[in-house]
Structure 1
Amino acid sequence: MAARPASEIELIKKHVLSERVEILIPKGFEVMSEQQMDFNYAKAQSRPSVIFTNNNLVSLAFNYSDNEADQDMVDVYAATFAKTYHKQYKDATWFGDGVKNINNHKVGYLEFMKPEMGHQVYTLVFFTDVQGKLMICTFNCADRQKPEWEPVAKQIMLSVKANTEAGK
């Protein structure tokens, strides 16, 4: 099956994490069931708060952590995550990491291709502070889907808007 050009993938605005974040998500993506999340993250130390997927081939996971965060800490998290991920994924192919200013808000990111269960997985991790806590978003797809999904993943990252209103 030929890859669809990214321009054909429609993105729709969604509010996630109890309205804390506004972001574009591919149309047709559904929230992964609790059972599927339990299965997929059975061996993980922590699992995401919510995962959107298109039949588990491509996923967009959100983790609203307990870690304190503010705009000044995004650079520190970016440096720490880069160091940790480079060490953890020694066989990864790195495309970049750092901090971008998105919608007047610092957003850290890591972009790489890592081996996983016999094949390569394209991953874009991005993170920022949301109401005093760290929100981490992870986009994953198989390497063969990277040409189609990489520009979409970047569009998603560039759309992130944290709700700065106080209140949980």
Structure 2
Amino acid sequence: MAARPFAEIELIKKRVLSERVEILIPKGFEVMSEQQMDFNYGSAQSRPSVIYTNSKEASVAFTYTDNAADQDMINMYAETFYKTYTKQFKNAKWFSNGVREINGRKMGYMELMKPELGHEVYTLVFFTDVEGKLLMCTFTCADRQKPEWETVAKQIMGSLRTNG
């Protein structure tokens, strides 16, 4: 299957986490069902709060954690997550990581290709504080789909707006 040109992936504005966050999500992505989340995550503590997916190719997961966070803590979280991921995924291929200002707020991010269930997965993790707690967002797709989704993933990250 040939990669679709980037221009074909339309993004639409969504409000998530009880209107706390506004973000662009690819058109056609639907909220993953509870049953599918149960199948994928069980009752894991790391289970996302909500996942948008087109079911086979790509997904955007939002995890609103109980971890205290504010703008001054984003650099510390970025360093900690990078250390954790480099230990956990020793064979990962790193593209970039750090902290950026997006829509007037500090946002940490990590972009990598990591092994998962026998194949490589392109992963863009980005995070910031929302109402005193850490919000983690994770875009994933199969490695072979990185060419068509990488730019979209970065647009999604760049569109994130919070109400404080």
What interval of TM-score do these two structures reach, taking the shorter chain for normalisation? over 0.9
CA RMSD of aligned residues (A): 0.9
Show the counterpart of 2:98: 98
Show the counterpart of 2:125: 125
1: CA distance, partners of 2:76 / 2:97: 13
1:141-152 aligned at under 5 Å gives the runs 141-152=141-152
Show the counterpart of 1:138: 138
Show the counterpart of 2:47: 47
Show the counterpart of 1:67: 67
1: CA distance, partners of 2:44 / 2:96: 25
Specify the SS of the correspondent of 1:45: coil
2: CA distance, partners of 1:44 / 1:118: 21
Report if the CA contact (8 A) 2:50-2:62 is conserved.
yes
2: CA distance, partners of 1:150 / 1:9: 12
* Identity percentage of aligned residues: 73
Q: TM-score, normalised by structure 1?
A: 0.95
Q: Cα offset for 1:46?
A: 2.3
Structure 2 residues without counterparts, runs of 5 or longer: none
2: CA distance, partners of 1:107 / 1:133: 13
1: CA distance, partners of 2:46 / 2:158: 26
Specify the SS of the correspondent of 1:19: coil
Show the counterpart of 1:161: 161
Q: Cα offset for 1:10?
A: 0.2
Q: TM-score, normalised by structure 2?
A: 0.97
How big is each residue's C-alpha offset from its partner over 1:106-131, in whole Å with a ceiling of 9 and x where there is no partner? 00000000111121100000000001
Show the counterpart of 2:33: 33
Specify the SS of the correspondent of 2:72: helix
Q: Cα offset for 1:43?
A: 7.1
2: CA distance, partners of 1:120 / 1:43: 24
Show the counterpart of 1:4: 4
Structure 1 residues without counterparts, runs of 5 or longer: none
